[in-house]
Structure 1
Amino acid sequence: MPAYPREELERMVRLWLDENARCERLGDWKPLARLYTEDATYGWNTGPGEDFMTVGREEIRDIALGVEMRGLEGWSYPYQRVLIDEEQGEVIGLWKQVADAKRPDGTPYQVAGIGGSWFRYGGDLMWSWQRDFFDFGNAAHLFLEMIKADVLSPGMKKRMEVAASGEPQPGHYRRGTAPVELW
């Protein structure tokens, strides 16, 4: 992977963070797709037997940023740290997942642990790939807590119904069968 000027990567990170914040306010992450190369890939692990992967800007927009973010309107993903490696052309951003719903004590529902995104820069202010990581167990625990408190959004309830239906979901693959590996 070629080295990139640090200033260019810092510009990309600022662009990403600004656009991410704008999309959070809109409750629509699909506009972020313009910040990926045409052939970019975006994936994450969803547990011991399943990976999620999208290939190409259109799948990233429609599935990763569209289908997978449904029900999370109003949530925020504040970045806590960003690490830039200009020699590798890679960036790691560490973020929190914070729901818009509040507990009775006023604190927000939030996924415990560390969440993050690992990006590879593709030039021209676009990512060539992104891999997310988060604590799936903590996310599942939070959603169960929110179900019990009856604070899930209607969109998230619908999304969970679809997931529980057993029907194959776009972008989800048995471990080892995705069109592109996580690593």
Structure 2
Amino acid sequence: MPAFDRDELDEMVNRWLEANRRCEEAGDWRPLAEFYTEDATYGWNVGPGRDFMAVGRDEIRDLALGSEMGGLDGWSYPYQSILVDDRSGQVVGFWKQLADAERPGGGTYEVAGIGGSWFRYGGGFRWSWQRDWFDLGNVTSLFVEMMKAGTLSDGMRRRLDRAASGGAVPGYYRRGESPVPIW
């Protein structure tokens, strides 16, 4: 007998995907915080030596889905494939990162490589943790290309300025020092 009901997990994924579509349309991902347990964690690696980690639903709402998604209004993250393991209660989704800005010569800005999210189901139609991955080199390259073309949003420019300021940014930790490990 599986540790988690497969129909419940499939329903969780369907609810998650629908909520993602609504949040993308609104340009505000913070409502997704309701899909996490109160003590959930959400993190990702930010290149050599740094990790991001939000601990608890409030930090997930304010940091991971709020300030970290700031400037990405208009972007979409269509899931390409989703794998569900009902024995472990884990879900893995592979997504693209697409900007709504148009390239000067036509076409869409898209982050090259593979992005994704790895979730652990916590029951009650909520995730107990999420870990993301993306190709930081390709993300950086695309942002630089968009900056040079003048198509980077004001919100993203402010976010990049904040990151480049050298000041402490909430949720960012030196590798191995986050309150919850990535693994």
TM-score normalised by L of structure 2? 0.98
1:132-171 correspondence to structure 2 within 5 Å: 132-171=132-171
1:54-84 residue CA offsets vs partner (Å, 9 max, x unmatched): 0000000000000000000000000000000
Give the 3-state SS of the residue equivalent to 2:39 in structure 1: strand
Aligned partner of 1:175 in structure 2 is 175
Is 1:45 the counterpart of 2:38? The answer is: no
Q: Which amino acid aligns with 2:71?
A: G
Aligned partner of 2:31 in structure 1 is 31
Alpha-carbon contact 2:104-2:149 (below 8 Å) kept: no
Aligned partner of 1:65 in structure 2 is 65
Runs of 4+ deviating beyond 6 Å:
none
Q: Which amino acid aligns with 2:75?
A: W
Task: Report the number of matched residues.
Answer: 182
Q: Work out the CA distance in 1 between the residues paired with 2:3 and 2:111.
A: 35
Aligned partner of 1:118 in structure 2 is 118
Deviation (angstroms), 1:105: 3.1
Q: Work out the CA distance in 1 between the residues paired with 2:162 and 2:33.
A: 24
TM-score normalised by L of structure 1? 0.98
Q: Work out the CA distance in 1 between the residues paired with 2:44 and 2:181.
A: 10
Q: Name stretches of at least 5 consecutive residues in structure 2 with no aligned partner.
A: none
Q: Work out the CA distance in 1 between the residues paired with 2:137 and 2:160.
A: 16
Deviation (angstroms), 1:3: 1.2
Q: Work out the CA distance in 2 between the residues paired with 1:40 and 1:48.
A: 25
Deviation (angstroms), 1:44: 0.2
Deviation (angstroms), 1:145: 0.5
Deviation (angstroms), 1:107: 1.3
Q: Which amino acid aligns with 1:72?
A: L
Once superposed, what is the RMSD of the aligned Cα atoms? 0.8
Deviation (angstroms), 1:102: 1.1
Aligned partner of 1:96 in structure 2 is 96
Deviation (angstroms), 1:86: 0.3
Give the 3-state SS of the residue equivalent to 1:129 in structure 2: strand
Aligned partner of 2:8 in structure 1 is 8
Give the 3-state SS of the residue equivalent to 1:28 in structure 2: coil
Deviation (angstroms), 1:106: 2.0
Q: Work out the CA distance in 1 between the residues paired with 2:181 and 2:40.
A: 13
